[in-house]
Structure 1
């Protein structure tokens, strides 16, 4: 009881004045009182929560450097181990000081707090606390994005994406977060957003975060003009000098095509002869425009798939990544084949077979960094998202591979990738009789049946739609 009272008192102090300069007689904890991160990390990973309690207590201190050290330790602890036991008792207690750090901390503190909140959401999973984390986080994260502190924006975008991904089960809620991002990606779409130049790293993070959430939204009102504007904007980004921007824009374009939104718009415009004459003419013009835009994009991605260098980084690895991505995009646009990927996690293999899955996987790998294998092996939320069951869970009587008689969890349904092209599964495995292939085929057939029950144009977010 005394610790909670002390935390509330310190929180009040933090809200009133966040000045790091204090007299020597202050009772505030010094930097030396924060346990050394490297020395104590093994103890935290071993299952104990006492040190995490000390780190959380340090977040209520007035000295900024103390809070930064505590946040760094918390980020490391949550990255390298699933802190289920601690979160069960201390979710809100950790969330509030992190939100205060985003509101009033230094650039470094804001970035660390953003990562801590994202990791907290991934650990909580789809419990009631996930929605609370999202709702509590939206105002300070939105304000942090408007502040324009370049050094913090990438972390804030990633945090907003993660907390929405986990807690945004309502499409309107996810749509709201995507609209916040879109106003930064395309400043003209927001009435109160400065049109100042956005740093390449920030724009890349914003597009990647927006695309990550686009993989999850199930329904929204279709705003044809907004979709036309968004795909046109991403097409323009393919001509940017920065390679990371071109790659992020290319992934967003591939995802939009996988959703089938442009095909839907083209179909609507092509069959609009029942409309009044002037509307029919506009629709036909828009149909012609969309077809021309698709042709332009195909030409752009072909060029980027064979680029010899020149624009952007001279790093050969970056150039190779660009070529590989856009070769996949070309193959997808021309033949309907999604990139088939696999990644080894411990003794298991995680497969992806759609752009939605690949974008989710790459985003979470970037966010979790070295902690990704640990989370994929033990985090039940990620097991649901990717329908991934580690062998050790199977051996201990855990969940088995999905069979035709089983139902998907609610969270897996929300994050179910959209399957538009049957051809994308034809090359999944060379051995059609393998045990893995049979189990995987059952799962993919389940996906096909579910996707057929949904309107393809409803798996998308409409940037700029009214009410967002």
Structure 2
């Protein structure tokens, strides 16, 4: 199923001398945590220099690559260290490295060792260590892809992720990361429909507690940490919707198009936003199944969406209001007109169009996991390129890379011209306003 499922998703688209010593130790720890990433960055820089410069730089590039791998091997060994601090630093370094580079060949022969180490961190660690371990697990699965290697990683740790996620006594931070890890790893490497259905049910059991009881119209109040957990669970659940078979989508539409609008009344802005985006996603999937799909409570739903799209309540933070209005304008426009806001993602010499709620959920999920490394993976990770229909990674020669770069002087000229054009346009608008007044 992994390959056919993936193709299906692609189509859908931290007194006195003592405190001083402690501060120095903390600083050195922070430096250690980012050491692997800095080596990865320097290796990347040397790669571009090698492409532009002399052949002798290839030797330096090989040396840099070997240095990066030595650092990664050390980090993998440190994941099982006796010191909690050392383990956390190693996990953070691995997280940074895995999100910024594609390391399939390096990790292929080390995945079982690393999986066993992550299992120990999830079982015996607490809070932050468990959270980091779940994040590294997600990235390991992403590096391995949807083949037997990724499936093996997911299958071995899926029960443990579900155990932590459903344990109300576990750390909320750890549960949040496990919710994201379960959704993403299932999306990448689920072997069959049974795996998918069980993960959907588990995630639904988490965010479902935010829905009001039948006799109430107000969502149950939870602490901010639990609201974040429910938000993560709903995001992962909606990601898995994009790979559900039609028969499963029909059941979900019947059960959730009445429940999810209730979350629009949540006092947590992020939960409201994710609920709105999920509703739009469900409508899109419904129209794919049935072109003339009809929703009975459309008027009530649109009234709620309009209120959120124009919300000006002063008790909400200004940034929250702005973000909410922007998202819900898009949701409302899609529900009423069937048109999705299009976004263009540029990476290297390529670009990708996010023109549906399915592709939007997929892209946002990878961006949340990879951070700033998402563009590198879009360029080089075969899994992402297949999911988003980008084809094989481009092989560019030095001349093409050099030709694609714009000099600082050219950028300055372009920005100056754009500034002048904006100033003229605004001046004309101001003049018209003055005339009216």
TM-score by length of 2: 0.70
Aligned 8 A contact 1:164 1:174 in 2: yes
- Residue 185 of structure 1 corresponds to 207
Q: Distance in 1 between matches of 2:207 and 2:290?
A: 24
Query: Any gaps of 5 or more consecutive residues in structure 2?
Result: 1-27, 44-64, 212-219, 399-437
Q: Following the alignment from structure 1 to structure 2, what is the Cα–Cα distance between the partners of residues 84 and 262?
A: 35
Which of 231, 244, 250 lines up with 1:204 in the alignment? 231
C-alpha distance in 1, partners of 2:336/2:374? 33
Contact 1:64 1:106 in 2 (8 A): no
Query: What's the CA shift for 1:36?
Result: 2.6
Match of 1:303 among 285, 303, 307: 307
Match of 2:84 in 1: 64
- Residues in 2 aligned to 1:344 and 1:97: alpha-carbon distance in whole angstroms: 36
**What is the rounded CA distance, in whole Å, between the counterparts of 1:153 and 1:256 in structure 2?**
25
Q: After the TM superposition, which residues 327-346 of structure 1 pair with which residues of structure 2 at under 5 Å, given as runs?
A: 327-346=329-348
- Asked whether the equivalents of residues 131 and 178 of structure 2 are also in contact (C-alpha less than 8 Å), the reply is yes
Q: How far did residue 314 of structure 1 move?
A: 0.5
Q: Could you tell me which runs of 5 or more consecutive residues in structure 1 were left unpaired when the two chains were aligned.
A: 1-31, 190-194, 268-286, 397-468
- Separation in 2 of the partners of 1:233 and 1:217? 19
The answer for the alignment partner of 2:138 in structure 1 is 118
Distance 1:35 1:201 in 2: 29
Note the C-alpha offset of 1:188.
9.4
1:177 Cα deviation after fit: 0.9
Per-residue deviation, 1:209: 1.0
Structure 2 vs 1, CA of residues 237 and 391 (structure 1 numbering), >3 Å: closer, same or farther? same
Query: What's the offset of the Cα at 1:390?
Result: 8.5
**Residue number in structure 2 paired with 1:214:** 241
Deviation at 1:220, TM superposition (A): 3.6
Q: 1:38 aligns with which of 19, 34, 56?
A: 34
1:265/1:358 CA distance change after superposition, 3 Å:
closer
SS in 2 for 1:349: strand
Task: Describe how 1:71-220 pairs up with structure 2 within 5 A.
Answer: 71-148=91-168, 149-187=171-209, 197=222, 199-220=226-247
Residues in 1 aligned to 2:385 and 2:326: alpha-carbon distance in whole angstroms: 28
CA deviations 1:196-249 (Å, max 9, x no partner) are 93622111111111111111222445765x643422221110011211111000
For the 8 Å contact 1:332–1:338, the answer to whether it is kept is yes
CA distance in 2, matches of 1:208, 1:188: 14
The structure where helix makes up a greater share of residues is 2
Give the Å deviation of 1:265. 12
Could you list the per-position Cα deviations for residues 135-173 of structure 1 after superposition, in whole angstroms to 9, with x for gaps in the alignment?
Answer: 112111011112232122221111111111110142321
For 1:183 and 1:307, the matched residues in 2 are separated by 30
* Structure 1 residue 35: Cα displacement: 9.5
Secondary structure at 1:62 match in 2: coil
SS in 2 for 1:393: coil
Distance 1:33 1:315, change over 3 A: closer
Structure 1 residues 242 and 188: alpha-carbon distance in aligned structure 2, compared to 1, 3 A threshold: closer
Deviations 1:29-79 (A, max 9, x none): xxx999933344444563332221111111222222221111111111111
Q: Distance in 2 between matches of 1:34 and 1:240?
A: 37
CA distance in 2, matches of 1:33, 1:304: 44
Q: Distance in 1 between matches of 2:375 and 2:102?
A: 11
User: Aligned ranges for residues 456-467 of structure 1 at < 5 Å?
Assistant: none
TM-score (norm 1): 0.66
What is the number of equivalent residue pairs in this alignment?
335
The structure 2 residue matched to 1:367, chosen from 366, 369, 383, is 369
Q: Conserved in 1, the CA contact under 8 Å of 2:379 and 2:393?
A: no
